[in-house]
Structure 1
Amino acid sequence: MTVRSEPVLVWDGAIRLVHWLMVLLVPLLWWTAEEGHMDWHRRLGLAMFGLVLFRLLWGLFGSWTARFAPMVRRIGALPSHLARLRQRDSTPSFGHSPLAVLSVFALLLALATQVTTGLFSVDVDGLESGPLAIMVSFETGRQFAEVHEFNFNLLAVLILLHVAAIAIYRFVLRQKLVKPMVTGRRPRADFAGADLPDNRARPAAMIATAIFSLACVWALGNFG
């Protein structure tokens, strides 16, 4: 008789919700900009700002796999991790692997740059602008807009690399990464009896962080 392994929490609900909302918002932001629906582009941009702010704060106050400090400590293991990948060693990491840590940091930096530049951007006619564009000159607003456009292309490349890595893990290393990001859990046996860190969800911290992020979104949306 096969004994089923008890599942353990890897990704808390906040991480999963933010992740999938970002997946939804990125193409919507691209489409609204391309089609000239700038009112919706601004609204969705503010929503993305709130998600990025929440994720950055959750990296300080969230569950163990959400926090940045343990992720940074894993970067030192990148050479050995790459060596194992070359040998097709697909032993799962509890949380982000060293290579995934670099991907997460690159994506968050690109998203933070995108929403920040969008706040100050001005179009060529000066008719459409971000909520904080009144704080800078027209020329500076145009410079922000140029960085905003260039950075989106960089973000798109990072997203494609991220999707390609997931596909490689799924079809080459036979490791499913999407399902745990939906359910939040993996079988305890996946981690080969390792002593796992305390990764309990933190609902009080999540609510406080969400309220603060929403308050910042509201303040930006009503600025000026």
Structure 2
Amino acid sequence: MRDKVAIEVWDGWLRLFHWGLVAAVLISFYTTKTSGAPFLFPIEVHAQAGYLIIGLLVFRWLWGLLGSVYARFKTFLYPPVETVAYSQLLLKRRPGAYASHNPLGGWMVLLMLLSLSFQAVSGLFLSDDIFFQAPLYGVFGDGVGGQLRTLHQLNSDLLIILIGLHLAGLIAHRLLGEPLVAAMLVGTKRFRQQPVDARNEPYNVATLRLRAIGILFIAAGVVLWLWF
């Protein structure tokens, strides 16, 4: 049977954010595990990757409020009752089709964004006690700085777990016939029936473009302030 419904779900701005974040997070994790090539000072590259992550997250938080319909948080964050109901259907391998994130995926996205935000922001207050001091190191004193260092390390472990769950979710949905990675590459999802959260809200492309450019300037300003 041929696909009947094709929906443009992930706009180009969101896809650029997603793959940019993937690259920055990979660099960030890699530079915590290496002490040499290809980077002369891995800790500085780690910090710079963190600055980029902050800029990307600034964009995503604002785009989640002002962006295209399927990028908005209000589209894919569901009440607990609906989330539990979806989970039960998923266990029975009978989940409904969603254009945006399904109820479980939506809360996972929010949790990952919160964890990444804490990780990146807490890193601004840290030092390696040898060569590098982050832009806000010492602002809250040694006591708070030490607590942030501990939480930064613990949250790093949490992020690894969340990323692992995210990858497991991608595999599970691929087995259920929903290729999410391909959708994040091209922006379009195809369905055999109308998805549960299908929206038919008209929007002005020019207005969205202006919003995206404005948000990009804000995010770039944050990154440049941190970098230099």
TM score, norm. by length of structure 1: 0.88
Residue in 2 aligned with 1:219? 225
Whether the 8 Å CA contact 1:14–1:206 is kept in 2: the answer is yes
Residue in 1 aligned with 2:188? 185
Whether the 8 Å CA contact 1:71–1:96 is kept in 2: the answer is yes
Residue in 1 aligned with 2:151? 147
Residue in 2 aligned with 1:174? 177
- % identical aligned pairs: 29
TM score, norm. by length of structure 2: 0.86
- 1-side partners of 2:131 and 2:143: how far apart? 14
Q: 1:206 to 1:127 in 2, by over 3 A?
A: same
Q: 1:188 to 1:89 in 2, by over 3 A?
A: closer
Residue in 2 aligned with 1:79? 84
Correspondence for 1:46 among 48, 51, 71: 51
Residue in 1 aligned with 2:167? 163
- Larger mean Cα displacement after TM superposition, 134-143 or 93-102: 134-143
- Does residue 1:196 correspond to 2:199, yes or no? yes
Residue ranges of structure 1 left out of the alignment (5+ in a row): none
- Larger mean Cα displacement after TM superposition, 146-155 or 73-82: 73-82
Q: 1:175 to 1:133 in 2, by over 3 A?
A: same
Q: Count residues in correspondence.
A: 219
Q: 1:100 to 1:217 in 2, by over 3 A?
A: same
Shift of 1:71: 2.4
Whether the 8 Å CA contact 2:15–2:187 is kept in 1: the answer is yes
Q: 1:145 to 1:186 in 2, by over 3 A?
A: same
Shift of 1:156: 0.4
Whether the 8 Å CA contact 1:10–1:199 is kept in 2: the answer is no
SS in 2 for 1:191: coil
Q: 1:66 to 1:38 in 2, by over 3 A?
A: same
Q: Provide the aligned C-alpha RMSD in A.
A: 2.3
Residue in 2 aligned with 1:94? 99
- Larger mean Cα displacement after TM superposition, 199-208 or 180-189: 199-208
Q: 1:152 to 1:199 in 2, by over 3 A?
A: farther
SS in 2 for 1:8: strand
Q: 1:190 to 1:179 in 2, by over 3 A?
A: farther
- 2-side partners of 1:154 and 1:23: how far apart? 16
Shift of 1:129: 2.2
Q: 1:107 to 1:76 in 2, by over 3 A?
A: same
Shift of 1:53: 1.1
Post-superposition CA distance 1:102-151 (Å, at most 9, x none): 1101100110010011011123x254221111423233323222211111
Correspondence for 1:205 among 200, 211, 228: 211
